[in-house]
Amino acid sequence: MAAVVLLLLPVFCSALPQAKFEATQAQFMRVAQTAIQYLNYHQGSPSYLRNVVFLGKTSVRSIPGVGHQYFVGFYTKHIQTGQNLGKCSATVLYRKKISKPVIEISCTDNKGGDQIKEEDYRLYRKLQDASSPDELKYFANIGSSYIAWKESTENVGYVMREIKDAKKWLRDNTLEFDYTVLIDSDVSKNLSCHMHITWNLELPIKVKYECISEDTSAYGSGQESGSSPDYFFETNF
């Protein structure tokens, strides 16, 4: 559906007068970061996790009656290892009165698909037996990317600042994780969030969350799984 909206926009917009709209570099960086958070969650791969390093070509236009459409090019590295992962380009549409953006993103990959699958498989097998704080951080980054994308608006972005605690357990062939994380906003209230994440190589990753702002007022919520762990690993980062 998102692709259809973006494909039809040029036809729709050609008949409308174009209003001039300018954005700052900070705004373009916020848009690029939101696009990569969207990608991190939807890829659901710890080997593929990206972070924006610096911007390339950017532009924005105001579409009367619709909203603002951003075009951003940017370069990425793996969010934890620092490995160069190539260039991305994204089209991000913020519609009036609808905070969740419509995102189309494509990236060149310095890792092949088979390499990504192999690295994910090795991590999956390792986590079935043991885990380190760095390995658990992969899934905190995936879950916080989901929250940041869901809660972001055109003028507010989010990024994970700290992992307060983490738990992991194995249920059948599925790894499950619980986290408490602090997520910073660039302009508004910071969030404290609990996340429950399930990861099975054969299924898409799932994230459920509940957040409160630092003044303890309710902010966003998701449904808990309600299951108790067979065993768990705890750490402070």
Closest by CA position to 37, among listed 74, 82, 84: 74
25-43 and 133-151 are packed helices; what angle lies between their axes, rounded to 10 degrees? 120
**Using an 8 Å Cβ cutoff, are 32 and 74 in contact?**
yes
DSSP-based three-state secondary structure for 189: coil
| Residues 197, 209: Cα–Cα separation, whole Å | 9
Question: Residue 167: CB partners within 8 Å, gap ≥ 6?
Answer: 177, 178, 179, 229, 232, 233, 234
Give residue-wise pLDDT tens across range 33-67.
999 999 999 999 999 899 999 999 999 999 999 99
Please give the residue that has the higher pLDDT: either 84 or 109: 84
Binned at pLDDT 50, 70 and 90, residue 22 comes out as: confident
Give residue-wise pLDDT tens across range 199-214.
999 899 999 999 998 7
Which residues are paired to 213 by β-bridges?
Answer: 191
User: Could you write out the DSSP letters of every residue in 50-82?
Assistant: EEEEEEEEEEEEEETTTEEEEEEEEEEEETTT-
Q: What is the pLDDT of residue 146?
A: 96
82 has pLDDT over 70: yes
